[in-house]
Amino acid sequence: MNIKIKTFQELSNLELYRILQLRTEVFVVEQNCVYQDMDGKDIKALHVIGTKENEIIAYTRIFKPGDYMDQASIGRVVVEKPMREGGYGKEIMLASIKAIEDNFKETTIHLSAQTYLQKFYEELGFMATGETYLEDDIPHILMIKR
């Protein structure tokens, strides 16, 4: 998988369309969750884009401290359904962690994880903090990597 990191302004119209399409496919349709995906935060984020054969198959958005959470953070972690068994989730997360370290000089990272993915994030060095909570009617837990 090839990884690109872009600001919102650097995204082409086609890249932005495909990112939003992938996020909608997974977070709205697959998870049967009606919510406002386009939340105004994409403009502040760096976009970590994983491609294979010029198609976007994995994605995250990352934030410097204060732009979304108090600490640097990773959100909208998504891998196209047919590609989930290929290790691309781990690969896009490792690229996102490195991008935070390189671009923001931060090593403490927060994320709001869907609880069914807690073990996946723990394998990447994140630790759960606090109790589970509902976000858009889906159980989540705050996780931190130090």
Q: What is the DSSP letter of 29?
A: I
Distance of alpha carbon 62 from alpha carbon 109, whole angstroms: 10
pLDDT of residue 128: 97
Domain extent listing, the chain: 2-145
How far is the C-alpha of 100 from the C-alpha of 109, rounded, in Å? 8
CATH topology of domain 2-145: Aminopeptidase (3.40.630)
Distance CA 9, CA 6 (A): 8
Cα dihedral 64, 66, 69, 73, rounded to 10, equals 10
pLDDT in tens, 44-53: 999 999 999 9
**SS3 state at 25:** helix
Say if pTM beats, i.e. exceeds, 0.85: yes
pLDDT single digits (tens) 62-119: 999 999 999 999 999 999 999 999 999 999 999 999 999 999 999 999 999 999 999 9
